[in-house]
Amino acid sequence: STFTTSDYTNPVVASVTVADAINDVTASTATVTFSATDNHNLAKLYYTIQEGTASTATPTVAVIKADKSATVTGTSGGATYKFTGLKEETSYVVWAVAVDAAGNESAINKLVFTTDDATKPLIATLPTSFDADKKLTFIFNEAVTSAAGAVRIIDVATMKEVALLGL
C-alpha cells in the first residue's frame, strides 16, 4: 500500500542581507541577498522594498508577493536582487517571504538600510561681512555637521586652500 504525507511545515527566510555595505549600497542602488530553508522543497522567494525604518509597519504577504520573486528549489536556496532608482540618503526596508512547494508561507523577514550620500557639500551663499559677533556665516547646499570635521575654503582661480574651518 502507498502512504502519502502532507507538508504542513512553514519555510523560513533565514536571512535578508547586504553582503558588503560599502560596495552593495550606493546612493541609488542596493544589492540584497536572500536565503531560505524548508523541510521538503522551496518554491519561491518574494520580496519588495519601500522607504521606511525599523518601526515601519509590516506589509501583508499579499503586498510582498505582488512585487518581485525568484524561483528556489530544494531544502535551502537563495537569490540576489539589485534594487535601482533609490533616493540618496534615504532609509529603506526590504521585506521577504518564502513559499514552499506545498504553499506554506514563511514569516516575513526584513532588512533596513540607508543609501549613501553622494552630494558634495558646496557653499551656496558666501558671507559678505562679519556679523555682530565678528563671525562669518557660510550657507551650504545641504546640512553640514561636525561629523564632516572641517570645511576647506579653496580659491577657485588658483585651486589653493585659503582656509580650513573647523566645525
Q: What is the 3-state secondary structure (H, E, C) of 41-107?
A: CEEEEEEEEEECCCCCCCCCHHHHHCCEEEECCCCEEEEEEEECCCCCCCEEEEEEEEEECCCCECC
145: confidence class by pLDDT, cuts 50, 70, 90: low
What gap in Å lies between CA 93 and CA 32, rounded to an integer?
11
Q: Using the 8-state DSSP alphabet, how is residue 6 labeled? A: -
Are residues 101 and 71 in contact, defined by beta-carbon separation less than 8 angstroms? no
- Which residues, in sequence order, are CB contacts of 101 under 8 Å at separation 6+? 7, 40, 41, 42, 43
156: confidence class by pLDDT, cuts 50, 70, 90: confident
pLDDT digits (tens, 9 = 90+) for 22-44: 788 999 999 999 999 999 999 99
Q: 122 burial class (0-12, 13-18, 19+ CB within 10 angstroms)?
A: exposed
In 3D, which of 109, 111, 107 has the Cα closest to residue 52? 111
Q: pTM of the predicted model, to two decimals?
A: 0.74
141: confidence class by pLDDT, cuts 50, 70, 90: confident
pLDDT at 160: 84
Which cell numbers in the block locate residue 56?
515601519
What gap in Å lies between CA 70 and CA 53, rounded to an integer?
25
pLDDT at 98: 96
148: confidence class by pLDDT, cuts 50, 70, 90: low
Q: What is the mean pLDDT of residues 3-24?
A: 84
pLDDT at 128: 82
